Amino acid sequence: MTETVAVGTISHESNTFAPGETTLEEFTFVTDKDVIDSFAAGRSIQGIIDVLTERGYELHPTVGATALPGPTVAEHTYERIVQAFLDRCAGVELAGVCLDLHGSMVAEGTPDAEGAFLRRLRDVVGPDVPIAGALDMHATITEPMIETLDAITGYRTAPHTDVVETGERAARLLHSSVATNRSFRVGWEPLPMLLAGERSETDAAPMTDLIDSLPRTDPSKEIANVDYFLGFPWADSPHAGCHAVITGGEAAHAAVQATAREYATAFWDCRDTFDFTTEAHQPAAALREAAQSTVRPVVIAETGDIPGAGGTQDFTGFLATIVGSDDVRDAVVAAIVDNTAVSQCMAAGEGATVQLALGRHYPETDPFECTGTVRTIHIDGPIDAVRLDIGSTAVILVDERSNYHRDPDFLSTFDLPPEEQGLIVLKSGYLSPAWKDVAARRLFALTRGYTDQVLARIPYERVPRPIYPIDENATWP
C-alpha cells in the first residue's frame, strides 16, 4: 500500500513595525492540486515534492499560501489559511507531513504564528505522525515549533539560493523517519542576539566559516541535520534571537543537545565579528562615495525601506536628497510605490510634465513635492510602472510593493540598460546575485525606515532584554 504524505506551504515574514496589516488579497493562496501544479516551482515545497515523489509516496496537497514580507498578518487571514490546511488533513490517514514554512510569521493576536499552527496541526494528525519542516534562514524558532516538529532544515545561503535543496533535505529526513520507523528529536539553543541579514551574508566571514562548519547531513546518522537560524530583527517579538537547531535520533538525546550547544557556542563567539558585508554609509556619505567612484555602475541599496523585509517601499527622503545633491549628476532610483502618482502619470501620458506629491518621508508623512516628465509607461508586466524623469534623475514608480527590481533586466524596459548607468539606487538590502554581477561597486545607504539597519534606533517593546548588540552586556548561556 502506498503511503500518503501531506505537503503544503504557509509563508510570511512579518514586519511588525510596518503600518497596516497583510490580508488575504496580498497572499498567493491556492489549495489541493494547484499546490503542485501551479505553485511549487522554485520554493522549498518543490524539493519536498521531488524527493517524496521519487521515494514513491502519494502526495496529499493541502494549502499553498505565500506573500511578500509585510506588516502583521490580519487575524481573519491567518485563521482562513490555517483552517484550510487543517481541514484538508482531518480524517486523512497520513504517514507524515512535510511543510515549507518561513518561520517568522506574526499574526494579529498570535506572535508565534507558526508555532500555534503546528500545535493545532499536531492535534489533527495525532502524536505519532512525523512532521518535518523546511524553514527560511531568518526563521524565529520557538518552543512550540521545537516541540511539534520532528525534523527541521533551513536555508544555508543569504541571499537565498538553496531554497529547493532545503526542501529536499526536509523530505529526506521525513522519509528516513517513515521508512525505518525512526523517531527524531530536535535540539535547540537560542541566543540572545539580534542580527540583520545585511550583516550575515553567507559569502563573507563569519557566516562563510559557520556554514562551512555544518556537517554534510545524513538522515541515517546520529546527528541528522544542523542549521543556524538568524531570526528577523524587524519583528518586535518576545521570541527574538538567533538559534542553533539540530535534528538527531531520539535515542541520541544527550548528543543532540550537546551538539546544539556546541554550534551555538561557535556562533556566539563570533558575535563581535558580524558586520555589513557591503560598504555601508550614512545616506549623504553614500552619495559622495558614489560620485567619487571611478567605476560604473555604482549600485546603492537603500536599506531602510526594503520591500523584501516588509518595508513600505514609499519613503522618498533619500530620493529628495539625491535630487537636491550637488554630488549626483545622474541617477536611477527604483522602485518607489505610489499608486496615485502612477495613475496621474498614466493619465497625463508619455512626454507630459506632471507635478506630484510623491510618496512620503520617514518618520513624517510629508510627500516629496516634485515636477517631472513622464518618459515611459509600462503596463504589460505583473505591475504597472512608470519612468519619471526629475531633472537628471530617472525614478521608477510602481503601483504596488514588489521585488520587481531584483532583476536588473527590468531597467531596460525603461531604456535604462543597467550596465550603462552611473548610479543606480535600489529599495533593497543585500543585493540579489544578478545585481552583484552588474554592480562595479556596491554601497549601503543606512536610511531610516521600517527596515532600519541600525537596530539600536528601532523602538522595540517586546524583544527580550538584555539582547546583543543593543545591550552589550548580554550574556549567554
Please name the helix (run of DSSP H) or strand (run of DSSP E) that holds residue 91, with its range, or none.
none
Residues 258 and 286 in one domain: no
Residues 131 and 207 in one domain: yes
Angle between helices 113-125 and 75-89 (to 10 degrees): 20
Give the pLDDT score at 382. 81
Fill in the amino acid letter for 284: A
In a domain, 434, yes or no: yes
Range of the domain at 303: 279-452
Contact 271, 413 (CB under 8 A): no
Helix, coil or strand: residue 156: coil
Residues 197 and 334 in one domain: no
Residues 315 and 227 in one domain: no
Instruction: Among 273, 298, 315, identify where a domain stops.
Output: 273
What pLDDT, in 10s, does the model give residues 395-429?
Answer: 999 999 998 888 999 999 999 999 999 999 999 99
Give the pLDDT score at 251. 81
Q: How confident is the model at residue 364 (pLDDT cuts 50, 70, 90)?
A: confident
Instruction: Among 248, 273, 298, identify where a domain stops.
Output: 273
In a domain, 44, yes or no: yes
In a domain, 477, yes or no: no
Residue 221 reports pLDDT greater than 90: no
Give the pLDDT score at 116. 98
Contact 374, 386 (CB under 8 A): yes
Residue 67 reports pLDDT greater than 70: yes
In a domain, 426, yes or no: yes
Query: The CATH number of the domain where 232 resides is what?
Result: 3.40.50.2300
The number of helices, as runs of H, and strands, as runs of E, in the chain is: 12, 18
Average pLDDT in the chain:
96
Residue 207 reports pLDDT greater than 70: yes
Q: Which grid cell is 212?
A: 562551512
What pLDDT, in 10s, does the model give residues 230-263?
Answer: 999 999 999 999 999 999 998 888 999 999 999 9
In a domain, 465, yes or no: no
Q: Which grid cell is 92?
A: 486523512
- Kindly tell me the sign of the dihedral angle through the C-alpha atoms of 202, 205, 210, 213: positive
Residues 53 and 28 in one domain: yes
Our count of domains for the chain comes to 2
Residue 387 reports pLDDT greater than 70: yes
Residues 318 and 435 in one domain: yes
Could you give the residue ranges of the DSSP H alpha helices within 199-275? 207-212, 253-269
Cis upstream peptide for 159 (omega within 30°): yes
Give the pLDDT score at 362. 79
Give the pLDDT score at 405. 83
Residues 147 and 172 in one domain: yes
Q: How confident is the model at residue 26 (pLDDT cuts 50, 70, 90)?
A: very high
Instruction: List residues bridging with 388 in a β-sheet.
Output: 374, 395
Rounded to an integer, the average pLDDT of 385-392 is: 97
- Residues whose CB is less than 8 angstroms from the CB of residue 308 and which lie 6 or more positions away in sequence, other chains included: 68, 69, 403, 406, 428, 429
What pLDDT, in 10s, does the model give residues 265-286?
Answer: 999 999 999 999 999 999 999 9
Rounded to an integer, the average pLDDT of 301-310 is: 97
Instruction: Among 244, 273, 302, identify where a domain stops.
Output: 273
Rounded to an integer, the average pLDDT of 59-76 is: 98
In a domain, 198, yes or no: yes
Residue 337 reports pLDDT greater than 70: yes
In a domain, 444, yes or no: yes
Residue 1 reports pLDDT greater than 70: no
In a domain, 404, yes or no: yes
Residues 260 and 294 in one domain: no
Residues 125 and 243 in one domain: yes
Q: Which grid cell is 366?
A: 510629508
Residues 113 and 213 in one domain: yes
Contact 376, 389 (CB under 8 A): no
Residues 253 and 347 in one domain: no
Residue 216 reports pLDDT greater than 90: no
Residues 243 and 287 in one domain: no
